[in-house]
Amino acid sequence: MAKKFFALIVVLTMVLGITGCGSQSTGNQQGDTKKTEESTEKPKNEKLVIGFAQIGQESGWRDAETFSILQEAEKLGVDLKFSDAQQKQENQIKAIRTFIQQGVDVIGVAPVVETGWETVFKEAKDAGIPIILVDRRAAVPEDLYASFIGSDFILEGNNAADEMAKLLNNKGNIVELQGTVGASAATDRMKGFKDQLAAKYPDMKIIASQTGDFTRAKGKEVMEAFLKAYPGQINGVYGHNDDMVLGAIEAIKDAGLKPGVDIKTVSVDGVKGLFEAMAAGEANVTVECNPLLGPQFFKACQDLKDGKTTEKWIKSEESVYRAETAKDDLPNRKY
């Protein structure tokens, strides 16, 4: 009997031991589950994660914008995923899709051209990721992007026409160096200039217009062709950006003419190289288009992440600069 009783005690002890381990294990599983659930929750103060699809490096202006974006991201501690599209829309679209897969908070894009964005922008919207257009617009419904940050390109064209009229005393022949075909900046700067000529300056006309793709090398090439096609007939050159006009200045000098004197120049952007040309008497006017958009861009990104509504058009502050003040203005130029 004693042996049987002892055996029963052993069995009961083993059963209780097993039950105890089971209870302990269940408790740990519950704790582990709770910890797992907590670990999947995003921390309240997590770092801002932004994807930015830049056009490329076609000009000094574009480089200044890129620097502003990168510098501000580092200053704010933003996790920036940056893509250089090398002037190709397909590369920008690919980058945007990558940003969507990465689950960024906001996507910024400087569209290389206006059209062809609706499908990928809708993909971002379906993923709950807002898009901010930076310095160039896209031809899409307004519900597919949160904000556009940048300039009034049509007004820039208007101002450029007024400045050219002052230089030519309201009369003369102009050649136009256009930006990239299909880019909103090129389309609107062309429209603003032409509309202003038609409305106010009937004795001024554009005798030739061709794209220089916003690059200095192409601007020089196109200007060389204009000078050969219209010898002695060109009074002014209007460039959609400074870099193309800097190229045109080289072509004018190579042709034995004096840029800024024999052929007046008006361009858009306000890069330091153009101020140097104005100070040297080789250029006349630049209509500023401010590329230092980093602070405005990341403020808008943070607002969107915080659930705030941003303005549909966040305008940059700009001015018009002329050769007369270029030497004094130069020390203050940041790009």
- 150 three-state secondary structure: strand
- CA dist., res. 213 & res. 73, Å (int): 29
How much is the pLDDT for 129?
Answer: 98
> What pLDDT score does 216 carry?
97
Q: Is 259 helix (H, G, I), strand (E, B) or coil?
A: strand
Asked whether residue 87 carries a pLDDT value surpassing 80, the answer given is yes
Number of domain units in the chain = 2
Would you say residue 31 has pLDDT above 70?
no
Q: Kindly state whether residues 143 and 163 are assigned to the same domain.
A: no
| Average of per-residue pLDDT across 259-266 | 98
pLDDT of residue 59: 85
Residue appearing with tokens 């490329």: 56
Residues 194 and 164 placed together within one structural domain of the fold? yes
249-256: long-range pairs with CB below 8 Å, 24+: 249/277, 249/282, 249/283, 250/220, 251/220, 251/221, 251/223, 251/224, 251/227, 252/223, 252/227, 253/282, 254/224, 255/224, 255/227
Mean pLDDT, rounded, for 66-89: 97
The domain in which residue 92 lies consists of 49-149+292-316
Average pLDDT of the segment spanning 112-133: 97
Q: Is the pLDDT of residue 270 over 50?
A: yes
Q: Note whether 188 and 271 are same-domain residues.
A: yes
Q: Looking at the structure, tell me whether residues 116 and 205 fall in a common domain.
A: no
0.95 cut: is pTM over it? no
Judgement on whether residues 68 and 128 belong to the same structural domain of the protein: yes
Note whether 126 and 177 are same-domain residues: no
Q: Predicted confidence band at 34 (pLDDT cuts at 50, 70, 90)? A: very low
Q: pLDDT at position 46, please?
A: 80
